[in-house]
Structure 1
Amino acid sequence: MQSRAWMTSCAIQDAFVMLLVERGYEKMSMREIAGVAGVGLGTLYLYFPGKESIAAVTIRRWMRKQAAILAEASKVSSPRTVELAARAMVQAHVRGLLGQENEWRALLHLERRISSPASYREIYREFVGLFRDAFIASSDWPVGADPLRAAFNAFSMVDGIVGHALLVQETCPDAGELAADIECAVAGYIRSVQAQASRIGDMETCWPASA
């Protein structure tokens, strides 16, 4: 059973996101957040000392939710190629963010303002780790290729494209079309990684290390 304190905190965070989308960070007040959350102003201050603390906790919670979506996509019951694994991760990330595009747009704008470098690095590394796990579990990950490097580069492409689609474009593109574009970019990179690993393997076969 979820604790009352946890449910109250979630209600406050949900109210914060609603007001963030409707009014923006600067215009919302702690009193408004309390009203939408259905809690007293005194109770709100018992949980959070101010808007910035609500923002930080809320952004972290939403990032964790998205990480959970990617973690689910990284798991499979039967073997799949690395391209299929990458496609599943792309689809999960794109549809997770664009499924709540107004909320994510507002949260990503705010994240750039308030997140510390350490906090940003921590969550970014978590997402990269999920891509790495998906790659390593694939049936054709090339021997000798660095899965962490590939995962960092692949996730950077995915996150960069979908993030800028939300932050820069006035009208967000169709999720299916955006995912297809990103899949092409990531698939091209993965094939490059595989080709490079294959060339290195061929060279080692032709020129074995001396005993």
Structure 2
Amino acid sequence: MKITAVQARRKPRQSRAKFTQEALIESFVRLLQQQSSDSITIREITDIAGVGLGTFYEYFSKKEDLIALTIHQQVKSNASALKSYAQSLLKLSTTDDITTYLSQIIHFQIEQIQQQQMIWRQIFQLERQVSSQDAYQKHYELMLELWNEILTPFIAEIKQRQRMALNLHRISYGFISQTLLVNSCFNNWHDLTQDILLATHVFIAKFNHTAISD
């Protein structure tokens, strides 16, 4: 059933309430590492979180609401990690080579997802089952904004930067999500990384050629 947004019953305004909601999310993520979402019960989630069933229903009306919030938090966490890593590269390096810069970021992104392969495979699947068009669009815009920010030190022209950001997200998200969705036991991360880098380098080369021509 599609939902229009993350629907938490209680807003976690107090620190204890926020802690409880985060504990429920973390418990669900831990279970995703071991089994499919369909087989996970609310009782299992609350047992690991150390709360009762009543507490769960104070925050969520059903498991799908917890799933939606988990997807949202997972996407935000990934974007935050990529942003921090990109900022660290700029602080620690004087390179003005956009190809090297993006290659390092892509390597980092893939490593982060590979470390949580079971979780991300199910996140990609659940995103299609649970997230509404509005929620999916927000996540899409979040990642486009991230790539746009990552590219800002190298591409001044706004339209060119936005187009590059769009294609970087299309490539990385498309290659990784489709790979994990069709192959639950995927392990050829080296070749996947090389394919993503090759596709990325094509767009970079096209951008550099256009910039020189202009």
Deviations 1:13-50 (A, max 9, x none): 12222334434233332222211221111111112111
- Cα displacement (A) at 1:190: 0.9
Residues 1:192 and 2:212 are matched in the alignment: no
Residues 1:127 and 2:149 are matched in the alignment: no
Task: Tell me the residue number matched to 2:62.
Answer: 50
CA distance, structure 2, for counterparts of residue 91 and residue 147 of structure 1: 21
**Paired residues for 1:131-170 under 5 Å:** 131-138=147-154, 141=155, 146-170=160-184
User: Is the Cα–Cα contact under 8 Å of residues 75 and 139 in structure 2 kept in the other structure?
Assistant: yes
Higher relative contact order (CA 8 A, sep 6+): 2
3-state SS of the aligned residue for 2:39? Answer: coil
User: Is the Cα–Cα contact under 8 Å of residues 71 and 127 in structure 2 kept in the other structure?
Assistant: yes
Deviations 1:127-177 (A, max 9, x none): 122212222212xx3768610011101210111111112111243234344
Residues 1:172 and 2:191 are matched in the alignment: no
Residues 1:7 and 2:7 are matched in the alignment: no
**Paired residues for 1:75-90 under 5 Å:** 75=87, 76-77=90-91, 78-90=94-106
> What is the one-letter code of the residue matched to 1:152?
L
User: Is the Cα–Cα contact under 8 Å of residues 74 and 130 in structure 1 kept in the other structure?
Assistant: no
**Aligned residue among 37, 50, 53 for 1:38:** 50
Query: CA, structure 1 residues 31+137, in 2 after alignment: closer, same or farther (shift >3 Å)?
Result: same
% same residue = 27
- Cα displacement (A) at 1:112: 0.7
User: Is the Cα–Cα contact under 8 Å of residues 91 and 179 in structure 1 kept in the other structure?
Assistant: yes
- Cα displacement (A) at 1:70: 1.3
Gaps of at least 5 residues in structure 2 are 1-13
User: Is the Cα–Cα contact under 8 Å of residues 145 and 194 in structure 1 kept in the other structure?
Assistant: no
User: Is the Cα–Cα contact under 8 Å of residues 121 and 184 in structure 2 kept in the other structure?
Assistant: no
CA distance, structure 1, for counterparts of residue 110 and residue 160 of structure 2: 25
Deviations 1:91-143 (A, max 9, x none): 222112111000111111111101111111111111122212222212xx376
Q: Name segments (4+ residues, structure 1) moved above 6 Å.
A: none
Query: CA, structure 1 residues 144+129, in 2 after alignment: closer, same or farther (shift >3 Å)?
Result: closer
> What is the one-letter code of the residue matched to 2:135?
S
Task: Tell me the residue number matched to 2:72.
Answer: 60
Query: CA, structure 1 residues 10+145, in 2 after alignment: closer, same or farther (shift >3 Å)?
Result: closer
Task: Tell me the residue number matched to 1:95.
Answer: 111
> What is the one-letter code of the residue matched to 1:154?
L
Gaps of at least 5 residues in structure 1 are 202-211
TM-score (norm 1): 0.84
Residues 1:182 and 2:203 are matched in the alignment: no
3-state SS of the aligned residue for 1:22? Answer: coil
